[in-house]
Amino acid sequence: MKIAIPTDDQHTLAPRSGRSKWFMIFDIQDRKIIGTSINENTHDHSHDHSHHHEHGQAHDHAHGEHSHADMIQLLIGCDLMITKKVGPHFGQELKAAQIKIQITSENLILQVLKPYLD
């Protein structure tokens, strides 16, 4: 099983998955961590809908719609993401990629992994 955890410091869970600095991926087999990788979240966090369009200028996207495809690519092969919070759009894309979501209030990465380890 591969578990993804969004983090800003590689020790605690980030407050929000899509805005984390990294996704730590834990490969767990027989209740032991057999591999770990750290994928930098390069998703554009500066996307802002408070922009101005000149008269006659095209508006090329709908408000509230944006893609998280870059983050989904970082999580390919993961079975589960454990997070404190996930936005609705990212949550839909995770489900479409067949990555389950577990919401937790726990802060420490090692604590959220305990149920999956010896």
Burial status of residue 3 (CB atoms within 10 A of its CB: 0-12, 13-18, 19 or more): buried
Q: pTM value?
A: 0.80
pLDDT tens sequence across 2-51: 999 999 999 999 998 988 999 999 999 999 999 999 999 987 554 443 33
pLDDT tens sequence across 73-89: 999 999 999 999 999 99
- Would you call 49 helix, strand, or coil by DSSP? coil
Bridge-partner residues for 26, per DSSP?
A: 3, 36
Query: Greater confidence, 60 or 10?
Result: 10
